Structure 1
Amino acid sequence: MRQMLFLFWVCLVSVVFGVAQAESPNVVFILADDLGYRELGSFGQAKIRTPNLDRLAASGMRLTQHYSGNAVCAPSRCVLLTGKHPGHAFVRDNRSTPPEGQYPIPDDEVTLHELMKRVGYVTGAFGKWGLGGPGSTGVPLSQGVDRFVGYLCQSKAHTYYPDSIWDDGQPMPLANTPPIPGHAGLAKDADPNDPQSYDVFKGQDYAPDRINAAALDFVRTNKDTPFFLYYPSVIPHVALHVPEEELKPYLKLGWNDPPFTRDGGGYTPHFTPRAAYAAMISRLDRYVGNLLALLDELDLTDNTIVVFTSDNGTTHLGEEVDYKFFDSVGELRGLKGSLYEGGVRVPTIVRWPGHVTPGSVSDHVSGFEDWVPTLLEVVGGAEVIPNAIDGISMLPTLVGKSQPERPYLYREFAGYGGQQSIRVGDWKAIRQSMTKGNLEVELYNLSDDVGESNNVASEHPKVVEEMAAMMSSVRTPSSEFPLIPLDGPVKKRKPVSVGASQPKRP
């Protein structure tokens, strides 16, 4: 009798545990750095090899009209992790805080990691953080992250062979003697046509390898509990640093690859920059493959949602990254730093076995602010979704149900001359050079002009008027990152806390 009761309780616990597991899928969110819309094979890339990501796309859904949080690193990440669009987000531009780090998000800014912890998830972040340097309110361990390995500072992440990266709150020494700078030129007497002249920019201890290993270890350690793995890779952001084994296959292709010598500035030189850039993306693909293989090995694949996307479009540094050669943004206009489509429309893949249809495609318009409510609904944590966010859950779209078109998608960026954009349906309005006082609105119909080549503002004055009004009403001014001329000049001040409430969306 006792044995029968024991078996009954074992079965009951197993059933309960099984249900709990099914309702608490693991979350893996992989964020590439400066990866363009057409730089994956599954999004039309013909030269760069991305077999693991292409298989991920084949087993999940491609989102073809998904927008990064902003046009550069830090503000894009702020949108992603807080669910607020750039007109409400705290960080709205890159800003360094020497000697290390970026302008920090304050204590009372609620991040996705903090929300995931509230519903019982172990949280990790591995890669480039960019939302606060050492000792600030923005460091990962103060923003809901249980385990962090990587770079706190975007500038430090310009080299892949540093002397150290961060391991939680302590430096992790790397065996690079000396460390390789992210910005340095050839020696004065070096021959730019001699490949050995570039050997000084090759290190021994590749930081992304360490970061990938730490991410895999996080999965192994937490395989028996729901986890949220945020993997903001530093790749393929320049400098062009990549191990030789990844580079060699591309050197055989005869690309007529002119050396990048850094004569006009930029990051460190490379003898074969086209091959190096392609190899970096393939290295990222390899890291993704390592992670997917581990999920298979640990029997976690079926209970894990995997998201892959990029923080903004391809870099505009054409001598280092030949975006024309790679057709990096395809038919889109603009690159990193621009609110035209090529700067903010990013390749996005979602795999969730049993929920997302393999090989499916969605053109539903969505953005980084949508991941906070989406992922919290996925894990059964809808009750902790903050009211003061701009994101709209994409869960209906992901599981193949119909979903209303979002009312608007708003972006603003105080950098690169000052910019605003808003998309309503197929209409997109954009302002450029606002720092110079320009408030002229360009208007494009993306349904027949995705390349934004035909400004139809003069033909649709009423639409322009309505879109301009919306660009004023859907945002709040920022004293830390003012959008000139709307908010006035930049004020020098220390980081301040921001309130939890925001105006209601129209």
Structure 2
Amino acid sequence: MRKPYISGILLAGLILTTALCPRASLQAADQPPNIVFILADDLGYRELGCYGQEKIRTPNIDRLASQGMRFTQHYSGNAVCAPSRCVLLTGKHPGHAHVRNNRSTPPEGQWPIPASEVTFAELLQQAGYVTGAFGKWGLGGPNSEGEPLKQGIDRFFGYNCQAHAHSYYPSYLWDNSSHLQLTNQPAIPGHGSLAADADPKDPLSYEAFKGQDYAPDRINAQALEFIRTHRDAPFLLYYPSVLPHVALHVPDAELEQYTSLGWTDPPFSRAKGFGYTPHFTPRAAYAAMISRLDSYVGRLLDLLDELELSENTIVVFTSDNGTTHLGDEVDYTFFKSVGELRGLKGSLYEGGVRVPAIVRWPHHVAAGSESSRVSGFEDWLPTLLEAAGADSSVPQDCDGISLLPTLQGKSQKPRPYLYREFGGYGGQQSLRVGDWKAIRQDMGKGNLDVELYNLADDIGESQNLAAERPELVQQLTQQMSEVRTPSAEFPLIPLDAPMKERK
């Protein structure tokens, strides 16, 4: 006799909820959730307030974390941009992914993912979603098989090419397959130097690197318009922001909140002859760029509230890799950007690949919750498809494991392993099994020695235990060999090709 009574309560609640919030209730009942996936660029593990940052203000992302789940052991797809994004979009770990390193394809773009690769955008598109990408693509230049409009994206606005994205004041952005001209004429270069006769101690010497038409503003406006246009249909908004990747370009209005703090802030003058464009107050600029990203997230969240879409929208926020290693431009020590972790962008040590990850999904993900589950970018494809009710379309060769049970507060078996390889920055390989992590460095020089760390006891990877646990080293070394396939385009030397001296 209790079941009809409970059903009556639920029915009454549904009627009341529908009366108070008709759009949200009808959407929740009639269609799968919208998906907003925000990907920061080079944002470190400890650069958000909700992850322990004390100097940089991120109130909107912190609010997102308070309303959802914060992951403490989440891993980007790789240690730099393009291969990390390939893992994210295809659900294949770096030992199976097509793109395993950055590689440009002049005159514009990066090495393309082929038509045979299937992205989560394509699969959601097939499930009835309208799809849009706004920001930096980096997985195939114009007219290649990898360009966004051929990889499941209905609407694209932003930068196709990573190198083009080094400037926040370019002369144009891509609007689908056409150029939208900006008013930065000429464009502000992403790499440049002070004039030969310029005084590096004079703030006026740096005025040449300030533009008028800030590309991230344009990108954010188009992302908001996409939501307004498709508010009545399930949509995927993929938002791979260019912030806070250097160059240090940010409007003065954003900068003022940090220049007023009285930080000792030595100018970055590019005196060493390399790096991105100079800036008179680099610490303030970097903090302001992260706060600018935070404000864009706030605008997205506010619009979802305004249109009564928040209740039926999954919002994911994460970063493509750790903080840049360019310490003269980004003072990662001052900001404690990766905290207690070892390594930065370009490294398979924790600081290069362990990243923030936040998920908000009202009534499915508990507000203020936290997960220490070991997870990675390959997991998003099956997670999003299962949440969308399209898990039957997850490809058989997907390496990811859906996080949906964890998000819903259910128990879930630990991940059997997490594998990473990266041919750049000397050549690297790592495998995590439980709390144990095996890692190789300088493989391009022929080094195959394995370091071993227990992350439960040594999150900073300071105590190499390889000599004490040779049997475990042997086991993990064998497993690193078994879980990957060779790549002709991105060989991991010396595993996939002989060293030059071994002719």
Normalised by the size of structure 1, how large is the TM-score? 0.93
Q: For 1:172 and 1:421, how far apart are their aligned partners in 2?
A: 42
> By how many angstroms is 1:362 displaced?
0.3
SS where residue 29 of structure 1 aligns?
strand
| Aligned pairs for 1:470-489 within 5 A | 470-488=479-497
Aligned residues, how many? 479
1:142 to 150, 153, 159: 150
Counterpart-to-counterpart distance in 2, 1:61 and 1:323: 26
- Give, as a single letter, the amino acid of the residue that structure 1 aligns with 2:233: T
1:177 corresponds to which of 185, 188, 191: 185
Matched to 1:488, the amino acid is A
Report whether the alignment pairs 1:209 with 2:217: yes
SS at match of 2:352: helix
Choose the corresponding residue for 1:97, options 102, 105, 125.
105
Per-residue CA shift, 1:267-318, capped at 9, x if unaligned? 0000000000000000000000000000000000000000000000000000
Amino acid at match of 2:390: G
Once residues 391 and 490 of structure 1 are traced to their aligned partners in structure 2, the CA distance between those partners, rounded to angstroms, is: 32
* Aligned partner of 1:107 among 115, 119, 122: 115
Q: Does the CA-based 8 Å contact 1:23-1:380 persist in structure 2?
A: no
Where does residue 436 of structure 2 map in the other structure? 427
Determine what percentage of the aligned residue pairs are the same residue: 73
Corresponding residue number in structure 1 for 2:293: 284
Unaligned runs of 5+ in 2: 1-17
Q: Provide the rounded CA distance (Å) in 2 between the counterparts of 1:205 and 1:106.
A: 34
Shift of 1:18: 3.1
Equivalent-residue separation in structure 2 for 1:196 and 1:316 (angstroms): 27
2:355 aligned counterpart, secondary structure:
coil
1:392-407, aligned counterparts within 5 Å?
392-407=401-416
Contact residue 118 and residue 384 of structure 1 kept, 8 A: no
Letter paired with 2:230: N
Pick from 422, 426, 430 the counterpart of residue 417 of structure 1: 426
Provide the secondary structure at the position in 2 that maps to 1:457: coil
User: 1:177 Cα deviation (Å)?
Assistant: 1.7
Contact 1:482-1:490 within 8 A present in 2 as well = no
CA–CA distance in structure 2, aligned partners of residues 111 and 394 of structure 1? 18
After TM superposition, the structure 1 = structure 2 runs for residues 39-54 of structure 1, keeping only pairs within 5 Å, are 39-54=47-62
- Residue of 225, 233, 238 corresponding to 2:233: 225
Q: CA deviation at 1:490?
A: 10
Distance 2:196 2:60 in 1: 42
Residue number among 84, 96, 117 corresponding to 2:92 in the alignment: 84
**Which stretches in structure 1 are left out of the alignment for 5+ residues?**
1-10, 492-506
- Specify the alignment match of 2:349 in structure 1: 340
- 1:500 corresponds to which residue? none
Give the deviation of 1:19 after TM superposition.
Answer: 7.0
d(CA) in 2 for partners of 1:70, 1:229: 22
Structure 2: distance between partners of 1:22 and 1:250: 46
The structure 1 residue matched to 2:140, chosen from 122, 132, 148, is 132
Partner of 2:369: 360
Secondary structure of 1:383 counterpart? helix
Equivalent residue of 2:279, what SS?
coil
2-structure distance, mates of 1:95, 1:489 = 21
| Aligned residue identity for 1:155 | A
The two structures, once aligned, show a CA RMSD in angstroms of: 1.5
Q: 1:87, 1:412 within 8 Å by CA — same for their partners in 2?
A: yes
Question: What SS does the aligned partner of 1:278 have?
Answer: helix
> Could you say which residue in structure 1 is the equivalent of 2:4?
none
The AA in structure 1 aligned to 2:345 is K
Contact 1:84 1:369 in 2 (8 A): yes
The aligned residue for residue 122 of structure 1 is 130
Aligned counterpart for 2:330 among listed residues 312, 317, 321: 321
| Contact residue 270 and residue 276 of structure 2 kept, 8 A | yes
Write the letter of the residue equivalent to 1:202: K
Give the one of 164, 167, 176 matched to 2:175: 167
Note if 1:259 corresponds to 2:267.
yes
Taking the aligned partners of 1:478 and 1:451, their CA distance within structure 2 comes to 31
Give yes or no for contact 2:446–2:499 (8 Å, CA) kept in 1.
Answer: no
On the 8 A contact 1:479/1:490 being kept in 2, the answer is: no
After superposition, give the CA deviation of every residue in 1:431-484 in whole Å (9 maximum; x if it has no partner). Answer: 000000000000000000000000000000010000000110000000000000
SS in 1 for 2:149: helix
What's the counterpart of residue 467 of structure 1? 476
The amino acid of 1:216's aligned partner reads: L
Residue 496 of structure 1 is matched in structure 2 by: none
CA distance in 1, matches of 2:77, 2:437: 16
Q: Secondary structure at the match of 1:459?
A: coil
> Counterparts of 1:260 and 1:204 in 2: how far apart (Å)?
21
CA deviations on 1:125-182 (whole Å, 9 max, x unpaired) are 0000000111111000000100000100000000000000100000010000211000
Q: 1:21 Cα shift?
A: 4.5
- The one-letter code matched in structure 2 to 1:56 is L
Aligned residue among 25, 33, 47 for 1:25: 33
